[in-house]
């Protein structure tokens, strides 16, 4: 055999010789390639001819191995096939005749062939289509039954034919007797009748004998079967456990009957119902209509509208963040009532249906404490007219909340409705305690005002103490939470305050601290490319300014007061830059001094540097005149001297009016 590569390496003369040897047809004008392909074709043809003439593959017959089967045995009928396999081909001759006789009996039993019924019963039961052997055995049994039935029918017909022939013979004899003399007619007829009846009785007796024999044989077989069942032991049992057969299945008491299956894996016997340990369910209850909870469950929360148009009512228990208690508000309801982000909604909800996660809103009762019809045409917060604070928050009216801190603030830096107050404090100067005293004083003397304490980047223990001691709504975000959460909480609190101011309410926000809020906005805001001193982004302080600048007194009713703290002297350049940005934005400034707190003089207020813009709109003329004189008196003092002189005189008086009256003495 030549390959194409081998032929390509040869010249034309060699190729011609090879072609002649193989008998390939070539011409003198053929090219080397044509000669090569002629040689390859000839090789392929000769190879196929050799394969065709070769010897065919011989088929090998695989003998069928007989599998071990389990046979049922009734009484004495049966064989132990396990012992039959293990029995040797030739056994030594027995010394006794009885043994030889037993061997002959057993050998005759082994040589005895099985009937079709026994062979069919020996085949193990299985699911699916019946085998060919089973079909043959069934056909043989049916044929045998038909033959037996035909034999019985033939026997019955023969008996009837015998009866008919006897009857016909008796009739002929009777006719012959009629032809005789009338004298002997009666005697002859009587003899003929007796003869016919005797033949008939003999035929019936033969039939009864055959039937009785069959009945007796059947009864004997039944008796043997019953005895075998009663004994339960086969005489040929070797008692070694090799032919152990289970004759009765043990019942399964704790389950239903195990069903048998057909060829399609469907149970052929009904499964018994198992015992039920549950109380029966009343099926009539399902037909009753479900109870309607639509107008029963009440809910409230602050609305947050998503970019897709729908919204959720956030709960203050979760600091207005996402929670399982949120109420779903559809976009159609938002458009119908003219709702905005930050609206405080009191409504009715219904339980969620299948596939719903939240309680959906069904009916709105109040929006920001007002009728929904009055809210739709409200003026936006940005379009309201801001004014200077004209009404002062009284901090010294209630004796329970009146202390030296509130008296100093009320006298030297009065706070009005719509004030934008900034408490400038160094670390550990008591600013948090001062804010707590001011908040409790406003809550006690002005119950119409709505107070919110917003704690940003604060310690958790401070949050707990503030929530337990201040009569206000505390919304907090501790320092261990991300800056995004600080920003989100501050934004939703501001939106809630704006919506309430639009409805004419007086709202006070205590922010601790605005420096940390500005840090959070600086972290969250995208980089603009311009960075100020201390790493502050140029656009990062825009939103904190919008928050602080929202404080205003509204013409026609309503006000938003923001009292925020700003940190200084923390060692951070960023805090100094933030304070400088907010320094001139407030219209009230209260400065705390570290030197006073170090001497344990509280409140540690720098009286010379603390003041309120346009305080003439908040205090009466007598108080203004006396404060004018008092400020001139302490102007040349340092913070410690000024606070000591005022502190000693205030302790001796019970109120600020009494303190001002004692100035002339």
Q: Is 429 annotated as a binding residue?
A: yes
DSSP codes joined into one string, 376-444: TTPPPGGGSPEE---SBPPSSS-TTT--HHHHHHHHHS--BTT-EEEEEE-TTSSHHHHHHHHHHHHHH
- Are residues 540 and 455 located together in one domain of the fold? yes
Please report which confidence band the pLDDT of residue 94 belongs to, taking 50, 70 and 90 as the band edges. very low
Please report which confidence band the pLDDT of residue 185 belongs to, taking 50, 70 and 90 as the band edges. very low
Domain annotation covers residue 139: no
Q: What is the pLDDT of residue 27?
A: 78
Pick from 450, 508, 512, 510: which is nearest to 477 by CA?
A: 512
**Domain residue limits at 14:** 4-44
Domain annotation covers residue 290: no
- Are residues 416 and 543 located together in one domain of the fold? yes
Pick from 423, 285, 403, 364: which is nearest to 650 by CA?
A: 403
pLDDT of residue 312 exceeding 90, the answer is: yes
Mean pLDDT of 549-573: 93
How far, in Å, CA of 558 to CA of 417, rounded? 9
Please report which confidence band the pLDDT of residue 264 belongs to, taking 50, 70 and 90 as the band edges. low
Q: Report how far apart, in Å, the C-alpha atoms of 11 and of each of 8, 15, 21, 37, 561 are.
A: 8, 6, 16, 14, 110
Which tens digit of pLDDT belongs to each residue from 356-406?
899 999 999 999 999 998 888 899 999 999 999 999 999 998 888 899 999
Q: Is 416 annotated as a binding residue?
A: yes
More confident position, 511 or 148: 511
Q: What is the pLDDT of residue 92?
A: 47
More confident position, 453 or 242: 453
CATH number of the domain within which 403 lies: 3.40.50.300
- Are residues 588 and 610 located together in one domain of the fold? yes
Share of the chain above pLDDT 70, in %: 73
Q: What is the pLDDT of residue 420?
A: 95
- Whole-model pTM over 0.75: no
pLDDT of residue 83 exceeding 80, the answer is: no
Which tens digit of pLDDT belongs to each residue from 114-161?
677 777 777 777 666 677 777 888 888 888 888 888 778 777 777 766
- Are residues 638 and 495 located together in one domain of the fold? yes
Please report which confidence band the pLDDT of residue 95 belongs to, taking 50, 70 and 90 as the band edges. very low
Domain annotation covers residue 652: yes
How far, in Å, CA of 27 to CA of 321, rounded? 97
- Are residues 372 and 440 located together in one domain of the fold? no
As separate numbers, helices (DSSP H) first and strands (DSSP E) second, the chain gives 22, 14
pLDDT of residue 67 exceeding 70, the answer is: no
- Are residues 465 and 330 located together in one domain of the fold? no
More confident position, 600 or 194: 600
More confident position, 517 or 285: 517
- Are residues 596 and 659 located together in one domain of the fold? yes
- Are residues 552 and 605 located together in one domain of the fold? yes
Mean pLDDT of 343-364: 91
Q: Is 128 annotated as a binding residue?
A: no
Please report which confidence band the pLDDT of residue 646 belongs to, taking 50, 70 and 90 as the band edges. very high
Neighbouring CB atoms inside 10 A of 543's CB total: 20
Domain annotation covers residue 64: no
Nearest 5°: the CA angle 460, 461, 466 is 100
Instruction: Out of 378, 404, 422, pick the residue that ends a domain.
Output: 378
Q: What is the pLDDT of residue 187?
A: 52
Q: What is the pLDDT of residue 16?
A: 85
Domain annotation covers residue 263: no
- Are residues 517 and 574 located together in one domain of the fold? yes
- Are residues 499 and 647 located together in one domain of the fold? yes
Structural domain total, the chain: 3
pLDDT of residue 567 exceeding 80, the answer is: yes
- Are residues 392 and 374 located together in one domain of the fold? no
Q: Which residue, chain included where needed, has tokens 């300014």? A: 545
Q: What is the pLDDT of residue 46?
A: 83
Instruction: Out of 354, 378, 402, pick the residue that ends a domain.
Output: 378
Q: Is 84 annotated as a binding residue?
A: no
Q: Report how far apart, in Å, the C-alpha atoms of 497 and of each of 368, 371, 410, 454 are.
A: 10, 18, 24, 12
Instruction: Out of 378, 397, 415, pick the residue that ends a domain.
Output: 378
Q: Is 20 annotated as a binding residue?
A: no
Domain annotation covers residue 150: no
Q: Is 417 annotated as a binding residue?
A: yes
pLDDT of residue 177 exceeding 50, the answer is: no
Q: Say which range, 189-193, 220-224, 313-317, 656-660, has the weakest mean pLDDT.
A: 189-193
Q: What is the pLDDT of residue 462?
A: 93
416 and 391 Cβ atoms separated by less than 8 Å = yes
Nearest 5°: the CA angle 361, 362, 363 is 105
More confident position, 635 or 170: 635
Q: Which residues of 405-416 are buried (b: 16+ CB within 10 A; e: fewer)?
A: bbbbbbbbbbbb
- Are residues 355 and 427 located together in one domain of the fold? no
Domain annotation covers residue 653: yes
Q: Is 432 annotated as a binding residue?
A: yes
Please report which confidence band the pLDDT of residue 355 belongs to, taking 50, 70 and 90 as the band edges. confident
> Which of 33-47, 408-422, 575-589 has the highest average model confidence (pLDDT)?
408-422
Q: What is the pLDDT of residue 195?
A: 52
Helix-helix angle 514-524:573-582, to 10 degrees: 110
Q: Is 364 annotated as a binding residue?
A: no
Domain annotation covers residue 231: no
Q: What is the 3-state secondary structure (H, E, C) of 115-151?
A: CHHHHHHHCCCCCCCCCHHHHHHHHHHHHHHHHHHHH
Tokens of 665: 């003495």
Q: What is the pLDDT of residue 598?
A: 93
pLDDT of residue 309 exceeding 80, the answer is: yes
pLDDT of residue 664 exceeding 90, the answer is: no
Q: Write down the mean pLDDT value for the chain.
A: 80
Q: Is 459 annotated as a binding residue?
A: yes
496 and 302 Cβ atoms separated by less than 8 Å = yes
Q: What is the pLDDT of residue 256?
A: 47
Q: Report how far apart, in Å, the C-alpha atoms of 287 and of each of 282, 283, 284, 290, 373 are.
A: 10, 7, 5, 9, 41
């Amino acid at each position: 055999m030549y390959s194409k590569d081998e032929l390509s390496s040869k010249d034309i003369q060699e190729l011609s010789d090879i072609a002649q040897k193989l008998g390939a047809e070539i011409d003198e004008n053929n090219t080397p390639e044509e000669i090569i392909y002629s040689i390859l074709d000839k090789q392929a043809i000769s190879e196929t001819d050799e394969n065709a003439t070769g010897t065919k593959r011989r088929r090998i017959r695989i003998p069928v191995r007989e599998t071990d089967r389990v046979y049922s045995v009734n009484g004495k009928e049966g064989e132990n096939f396990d012992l039959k396999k293990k029995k040797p081909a030739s056994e030594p001759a027995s010394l006794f005749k009885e043994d030889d006789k037993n061997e002959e009996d057993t050998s005759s039993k082994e040589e005895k062939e099985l009937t079709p019924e026994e062979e069919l019963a020996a085949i193990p039961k299985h699911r699916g289509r019946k085998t060919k052997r089973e079909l043959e055995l069934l056909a043989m049994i049916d044929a045998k039954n038909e033959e037996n039935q035909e034999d019985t029918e033939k026997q019955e017909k023969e008996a009837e034919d015998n009866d008919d022939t006897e009857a016909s013979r008796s009739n002929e004899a009777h006719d012959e007797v009629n032809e005789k003399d009338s004298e002997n007619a009666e005697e002859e007829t009587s003899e003929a009748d007796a003869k016919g009846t005797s033949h008939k009785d003999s035929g019936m007796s033969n039939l009864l004998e055959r039937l009785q024999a069959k009945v007796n044989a059947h009864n004997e077989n039944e008796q043997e079967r019953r005895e075998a069942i009663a004994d339960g032991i086969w005489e040929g049992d070797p008692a070694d456990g090799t032919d152990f057969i289970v004759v009765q299945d043990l019942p399964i008491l704790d389950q239903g009957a195990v069903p048998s299956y057909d060829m399609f894996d469907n149970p052929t016997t009904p499964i018994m119902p198992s015992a039920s340990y549950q109380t029966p369910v009343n099926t009539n209850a399902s037909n009753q209509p479900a109870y309607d909870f639509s107008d029963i469950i009440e809910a409230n929360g602050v609305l947050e509208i998503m970019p897709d148009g729908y919204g959720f009512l956030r709960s203050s228990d979760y600091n207005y963040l996402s929670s399982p208690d949120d109420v779903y508000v559809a976009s159609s309801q938002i458009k119908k009532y003219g709702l905005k982000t930050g609206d405080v909604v009191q409504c009715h909800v219904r339980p969620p249906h299948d596939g719903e996660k939240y309680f959906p809103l069904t009916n709105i009762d109040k929006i920001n404490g007002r009728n929904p019809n009055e809210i739709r045409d409200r003026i936006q917060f940005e379009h309201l007219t801001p004014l200077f604070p004209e009404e002062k928050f009284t901090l010294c009216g209630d004796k329970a909340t009146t202390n030296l801190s509130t008296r100093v603030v009320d006298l030297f830096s009065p706070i009005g409705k719509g004030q934008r107050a900034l408490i400038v404090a160094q670390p550990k100067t008591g600013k948090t305690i001062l804010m707590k005293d001011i908040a409790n004083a406003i809550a006690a003397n002005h119950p119409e005002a709505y107070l919110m304490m917003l704690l940003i980047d604060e310690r958790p223990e401070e949050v707990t103490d503030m929530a337990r001691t201040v009569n206000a709504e505390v919304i907090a975000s501790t320092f261990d939470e991300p800056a995004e959460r600080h920003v989100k909480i501050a934004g939703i609190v501001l939106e809630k305050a704006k919506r309430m101011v639009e409805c004419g309410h007086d709202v006070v926000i205590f922010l601790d601290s605005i420096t940390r809020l500005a840090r959070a906005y600086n972290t969250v805001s995208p980089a603009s490319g311009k960075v100020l001193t201390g790493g502050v982004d140029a656009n990062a302080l825009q939103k904190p300014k919008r928050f602080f600048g929202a404080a205003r007194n509204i013409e026609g009713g309503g006000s938003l007061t923001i009292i925020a703290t700003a940190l200084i002297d923390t060692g951070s350049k960023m805090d100094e830059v933030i304070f400088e940005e907010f320094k001139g934005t407030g219209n009230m400034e209260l400065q705390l001094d570290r030197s006073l707190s170090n001497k344990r003089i509280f409140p540690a207020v720098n009286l010379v540097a603390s003041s309120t813009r346009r305080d003439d709109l908040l205090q009466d003329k007598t108080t203004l005149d006396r404060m004018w004189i008092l400020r001139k008196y302490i102007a040349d003092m340092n913070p410690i001297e000024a606070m000591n002189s005022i502190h000693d005189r205030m302790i001796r008086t019970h109120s600020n009016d009494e303190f001002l009256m004692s100035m002339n003495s």
